[in-house]
Structure 1
Amino acid sequence: MTTKALADFVADLQYDKLSHETVQITKQCILDWLGVCIRGSQEKPIKIIRKLLLEGGGKPQATVLAGDAEKTTTLNAAFCNGSASHSLDFDDLHNPSIIHLATVVVPPVFAIADTERKSGKEMLAAVVAGYEVGGRVGESVIPESYFFWHTTGTAGTFGAAASAAKILGLNAADTLQCLGSAGTQAAGLWEFLKEGAMSKTLHAGKSSYAGVLSAYLARAGFTGATKILEGEKGFCRAMVPEPHLEKLTDGLNDGIYKIDNNSFKPYACCKHSHASLYAMQVLRAENGLKSEDVEEIELLVNNITEFLINNPQPENPYGCKFSIQYCVAGMLKYGDMGVDRFLPEVIGDAEVRGVMAKTKVVRDPAIEAVHAADPAKLASKLVVRCKDGRVLEMQVDFPKGDPPNPMSWDESVAKFMSLAVPVYGEAKAAKLCKLIETLENSKDFAVDLAKCLA
């Protein structure tokens, strides 16, 4: 039973089994998530979600990370924080499964640890468990399911359930029931992208909520399908006709975890644009390239990038995050693509729009072959034809933030502070950063979190 193997893995995993390197990358994942969550809480879609959920009241069990000391139910805190952490498209990505795992794995851990007074070591183990299960489920249905289904909302629900089960302390039998209940709630369709609608944040919030709900239901004796992944009418076969079921268990318990090969974002937009963005950033710096120098830009991409973010005329900030043309043109002008490059008053810039009109996106068999050979490579090739006759080109397999081209802890701290300080101020942000840096020393996360926010 494949689902049972994953449930057994989650129940058996302990902090003491984790290497120093795995603990460090796990803390980096949590810190990255926390910064994006805090700043993301200020976005319009999240304010709508938070207002609706908190107006309903409920027992103040867990913290909503939105700049104040407000608490709500464990379920709603996971929903609010999960949604917030996916609102900027600045969150991490596990490339092979194409899941923003932190947005669905960490919110349940924070909410339950806050409610149940769990330790930092328990939280670290739970995050590793969630990344492992979520990543494996994603890989079992990628790339075939990705045209219709947003993997963070679908496979990510299993990651949320695994992390919730682990931090709640469920045994293997109850974790199996938890996964069954979570799988039947998995959802998330890509249709929203055509209009730049707000649904993507809902996917992460609902997955986080479903994971917490499933864990508490399982603890209370509620049952779910015990073959929810591999069953005839289970998740994997519902997603794709021929799922890669071997991906669910190959190498399980070999001591190498999915979180060990996680990617971080230096740019606040869809990860599928990052290879082209990094190439433009490098060519711009090396050649003093400016917008007025450009005759034409050609972007050679794989099929996923082409159907997902080939958007030559995005109409709103969210659409711009999913327009490779806007992102590359913006990088050419500014030299970076942080949160402020996607503000409503910025996205209509005439210089950027002019470069976009000179940019074409081409689905390229050679680039597709790179991804087919190694799903961790979300590669692209950038070709810039200049008015003076120069042709500048660069293929990027691993942009900044991928494991072979990593972000350092100090770079992650800088990113965190840039996002958290505008919401919480310098002192509180620094305390939060220190809490995550030394998370294994926390005996009662609820107490330590409250001290940081006091």
Structure 2
Amino acid sequence: MSSTALASTATPAAAPAAVPAPAAYADELAAFAASLTTAAIPEAVRRHARLVLLDTVGAIVAGTRETEIAALAAALRAGSATAPAQLAFVLGTAGVAIELDEGCAPSRGHPGVHVVPALLAAMAAGHDADADTLLTALVAGYEVAARLGSATTFRDGIHPHGTWGACGAAAALGRLAGLPAPMIATAIRAAASLSVATDYQTVHAGALVRNAWSGMAGFAGTMAVELARAGFSAAADAPAGVFGRVLGTGFDRAAATDGLGHRWLICENYFKPYACCRHTHASVAALEQAVDGVAPDAIVAVRAFTYARAVAATGALRPQPTPLAAKFSLPYIVAARLLHGGLGDDAFREPVLSRRDIAALAERVTVADDPALSALFPGVRAARVEVDLADGSTRTAEAHGSHGDPQDPMSEDEVRAKFLRLAGPSLGADTAAVLADDVLTAAASPAITPAGLARQVTSLVT
């Protein structure tokens, strides 16, 4: 029998089962962002999004008072500082300058400061939006960013700023502009391809270029949308390739969309009470319990035990630290908390930074990882401290998280008060109070609409 005849009488092979494309997660995220409506977001989520917006704006406004931010803004004004990408860059850089921007534990990073600056820049450049549209775009971008972060396992030594946050900025801007899902998907993929290589040694050296990483994410997210609009293409699996192979060691594609539209990661965020690296906060919370009622001069030594990631990021003592390096040095932070009395931004500036008594006590602070506490991370950021006193006794306390976490959240009044402290010196107390009330009530007043909010903030750097 001929081969032709044999083929014609054979039973046809069954069609292979459909297998989801590996890169389908990016399309799902884009479809979520494109189709998200105000009505689809639970009221509790919208309420929390307003807190994230207010807190992030406060951090940005405070950051604009930094000398280097003012100089950067002046340099860009000489060119075309009103271009949205450049403006997003300045605002995003300012937003992390004093280390008080919010973050999201499941993402292991800071979605808000990557998304909000891009939205403010777009509105300041002429894209008008009502309060519902702004909040919907914020939620869409935040969820995309946080989910990509939660799916990523970075290599040791990689900092999350300037990476997956760019994808969230692109998604937020796509939703703000009402772009179709395929175009937002391209923008998400393009933004991943524009990520920054973020070496943690830059942070430990106290080099301020680290602050520009979040600014670069706003720039990249803004440009990614323009690239998509112009017809540029991007690799279908770009986020997994860049975050999971180039910058990381793994990327869980399923985790990127698991519970999308039902589990809202924005409500699992934290607000920072201390102006230092989030990895130190549990140790500070434990310290405050251990030394309650103890005079600082009675303290001989402190031993902090925490999870391994916190030790790697913040465990070293840095002689003669810069403000940024001090914010990532748990020995300095412990000593400053005990002798200066607080961990506001002033604790990381002169003359506090050069105090000899703080330096001497920091030398007597040791930091080590505890495998039992490391096993709880990232779900729980825990620490235990042991404080040796001059009378020979030791006081011990353990904390699972810190104030501002979802399990111990800041109240709306606390977030508002934090905003007023950060924004009041630049905007004026009365204007800051009106702005805070407007954001939290979403009752757009004639004085401050969403576009007016954007102009208020961006006027500080344009």
| 1:275 and 2:282 matched | yes
Aligned-pair distance for 1:376? Answer: 3.0
Asked if the contact 1:174/1:219 (under 8 Å) is kept, the reply is: yes
Asked if the contact 1:132/1:257 (under 8 Å) is kept, the reply is: yes
Aligned-pair distance for 1:199? Answer: 1.9
Over aligned residues, Cα RMSD in angstroms?
Answer: 2.0
Map Cα deviations across residues 389-444 of structure 1 (whole Å, 9 max, x no partner).
Answer: 22211111120000001101100111111111111211221122123113364795
* Structure 2 Cα separation of the partners of residues 242 and 31 of structure 1: 33
Structure 2 regions of 5+ residues with no counterpart?
1-23
Asked if the contact 2:92/2:215 (under 8 Å) is kept, the reply is: yes
Question: 1:256-335, aligned counterparts within 5 Å?
Answer: 256-284=263-291, 286=292, 288-314=293-319, 315-335=321-341
* Counterpart among 246, 255, 269 of residue 254 in structure 2: 246
* Counterpart among 358, 366, 378 of residue 360 in structure 1: 366
* Structure 2 Cα separation of the partners of residues 451 and 326 of structure 1: 36
- 2:64 matched residue in structure 1: 41
* Structure 2 Cα separation of the partners of residues 200 and 431 of structure 1: 33
Aligned-pair distance for 1:448? Answer: 5.8
Asked if the contact 2:191/2:221 (under 8 Å) is kept, the reply is: yes
| 1:202 and 2:225 matched | no
- 2:114 matched residue in structure 1: 104
| 1:413 and 2:436 matched | no
- 1:425 matched residue in structure 2: 428
Match for 1:90: what amino acid?
L
* Structure 1 Cα separation of the partners of residues 418 and 453 of structure 2: 22
SS at match of 1:123: helix
TM-score normalised by length of structure 2:
0.89
Asked if the contact 1:120/1:442 (under 8 Å) is kept, the reply is: no
Asked if the contact 2:90/2:215 (under 8 Å) is kept, the reply is: yes
Tell me: CA distance 1:152–1:364, structure 2 relative to 1, closer, same or farther (3 Å).
same
- 1:191 matched residue in structure 2: 201
* Percent identical residues: 29
Give the stretch that moved more between structures: 109-118 or 16-25.
109-118
Structure 1 regions of 5+ residues with no counterpart?
59-71
Give the stretch that moved more between structures: 310-319 or 10-19.
310-319
Aligned-pair distance for 1:217? Answer: 2.6
* Structure 2 Cα separation of the partners of residues 46 and 136 of structure 1: 30
SS at match of 1:370: coil
Query: Who wins on radius of gyration, i.e. which is larger?
Result: 2
Asked if the contact 1:301/1:381 (under 8 Å) is kept, the reply is: yes
SS at match of 1:389: coil
- 1:61 matched residue in structure 2: none
Map Cα deviations across residues 309-366 of structure 1 (whole Å, 9 max, x no partner).
Answer: 1221242111110110111111112332001111132111122222211111112111
SS at match of 1:299: strand
* Structure 1 Cα separation of the partners of residues 133 and 184 of structure 2: 16
- 1:169 matched residue in structure 2: 178
- 2:84 matched residue in structure 1: 74
* Structure 1 Cα separation of the partners of residues 276 and 295 of structure 2: 22
- 1:124 matched residue in structure 2: 135
- 1:62 matched residue in structure 2: none
* Structure 1 Cα separation of the partners of residues 186 and 445 of structure 2: 30
* Structure 2 Cα separation of the partners of residues 274 and 24 of structure 1: 25
* Structure 2 Cα separation of the partners of residues 34 and 234 of structure 1: 29
* Structure 2 Cα separation of the partners of residues 450 and 50 of structure 1: 15
* Structure 1 Cα separation of the partners of residues 249 and 96 of structure 2: 29
* Counterpart among 23, 42, 54 of residue 46 in structure 2: 23
Asked if the contact 2:123/2:454 (under 8 Å) is kept, the reply is: no
* Structure 2 Cα separation of the partners of residues 207 and 449 of structure 1: 18
